[in-house]
Amino acid sequence: MKQGVDKMVVFLSFLIAQVLVSSYIDFGPMVFIVLYPLFIIALPAGMSSVYVMLWAFAIGAGTDLLYNGMAGINSAAAVMMAFLRQPVQTLIVRKGELDSQIRPGMYEMGFSRFLAYAVILLSIHHITYILAESFSFAYLSGNLPRFLISLAINTTLLLLIEFGLFYKNWK
C-alpha cells in the first residue's frame, strides 16, 4: 500500500515537472525535452511489463492531454519504451543480479551500465516519438539532427536528475 502511494507521488511529480517543462521551455524545433522516461526506466526491476506499460501509458497520455501539442505522441513513445524495457534490461544486466523489487537506478547498476540502459531506452523513445509526430519516414533526414540533439540533452538531464534526487550514496 505504502509503496503504491510512493509511486503515485513520484508519478505526479514527474507529470507536473514534464508539463511545466513542455509549456515553458522552448528551444525551437530542434530540441524537445522529456523528463518522464526516468520514471519508466526506474520502475522496479521485476515489475511485470504489463504494469510498466500501464504506468507508461498513464504518464504519456497525461503529458499529451495537459500540453497543447498533438495528442497521442508521448503515450505512443512511452508505451513503446515500456514494452522494450524488459529485453533491454536482460541485455545489460546478468540474470539474478538485480533483485526483483529493486529500483534499477545508478547506484544499483553502476554508472556505465545505467548510462547504457538509459541511452538505449531513450533512443527507442525518441525514434517512436519522431515517427509518431511526422507519421511517415519522409522527414527522416531532417529529423536525424533533432534526434541526436534531443537524445544528448535528455540523457544529460536524466543523469542529473538521477544523480541529484535518487542516488542514495553520494554524501
The minimum distance between CB 139 and other proteins, in angstroms, equals 6
The minimum distance between CB 171 and other proteins, in angstroms, equals 31
Closest CB to other proteins among 9 and 65?
65
Interacting residues with other proteins (CB under 8 A): 22-24, 26-33, 46-51, 53-54, 57, 60-61, 64-66, 68-73, 75-76, 79-80, 83, 100, 132-135, 139, 142
CA distance 46 to 17: 26
C-alpha cell at 118: 538509459
The minimum distance between CB 135 and other proteins, in angstroms, equals 7
CA distance 94 to 89: 9
Q: Are 146 and 130 in contact (CB under 8 A)?
A: yes
C-alpha cell at 32: 524537445
Residue 165 carries which DSSP code? I
The minimum distance between CB 115 and other proteins, in angstroms, equals 25
Closest CB to other proteins among 139 and 163?
139
User: Quick one: which of 52, 112, 102, 42 has its CA closest to 79?
Assistant: 52
Closest CB to other proteins among 65 and 91?
65
CA distance 146 to 165: 28
The minimum distance between CB 15 and other proteins, in angstroms, equals 12
Closest CB to other proteins among 57 and 167?
57
C-alpha cell at 6: 510512493
CA distance 129 to 154: 13
Closest CB to other proteins among 66 and 157?
66
